[in-house]
């Protein structure tokens, strides 16, 4: 079991560029969650999918952030026109039953300069 795999581990982008982050959930897990972690805001919920369908995107900044789950083996988080305030660690988690199996990936550390 390789756990939740996130790529890349680190990404540096220039202000205004696009960033795409990838997440491969644990095989067989039906729920995928995206969180953003910063020192100031802590762990903030962004969005989640269940059986590939978007369920709750209440934490997503609507204008520049989007997420997809085209198949059960991966999800992507795309940030258009990145801004310095988007700099954070983006964590993906997957869950079999929705609670006790909430396993986080190692995260993607995004730096926007």
With contacts defined by CB under 8 A, how many residues of the chain interact with other proteins?
A: 22
Tokens describing residue 38: 């910063």
Closer residue to other proteins (CB): 43 or 113: 43
Binding segment for other proteins (CB under 8 A), chosen from 15-23, 43-51, 63-71, 72-80, is: 43-51
Range 72-102 burial, b when 16+ CB lie within 10 A, else e: eebbebebeebeeebbbbbbbbbbeeeeeee
Closer residue to other proteins (CB): 82 or 94: 94
Task: Indicate the DSSP class of residue 97.
Answer: S
- Can residue 33 be called a binding residue for other proteins (CB under 8 A)? yes
The distance of closest approach from Cβ of residue 63 to other proteins in the complex, given in angstroms and rounded to an integer, is: 21
The distance of closest approach from Cβ of residue 37 to other proteins in the complex, given in angstroms and rounded to an integer, is: 8
């Amino acid at each position: 079991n390789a756990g939740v795999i996130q790529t890349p581990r680190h990404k540096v982008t220039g202000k205004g560029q696009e960033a795409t982050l990838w997440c491969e959930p644990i095989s067989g897990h039906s729920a995928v969650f995206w969180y953003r972690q910063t020192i100031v805001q802590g762990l903030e919920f962004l969005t989640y999918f269940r059986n590939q369908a978007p369920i709750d995107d209440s934490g997503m900044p609507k204008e520049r952030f989007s997420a997809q789950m085209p198949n059960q083996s991966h999800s992507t988080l795309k940030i258009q026109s990145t801004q310095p305030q988007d700099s954070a660690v983006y964590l993906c988690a997957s869950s079999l039953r929705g609670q006790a199996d909430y396993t986080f990936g190692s995260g993607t550390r995004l730096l926007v300069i």
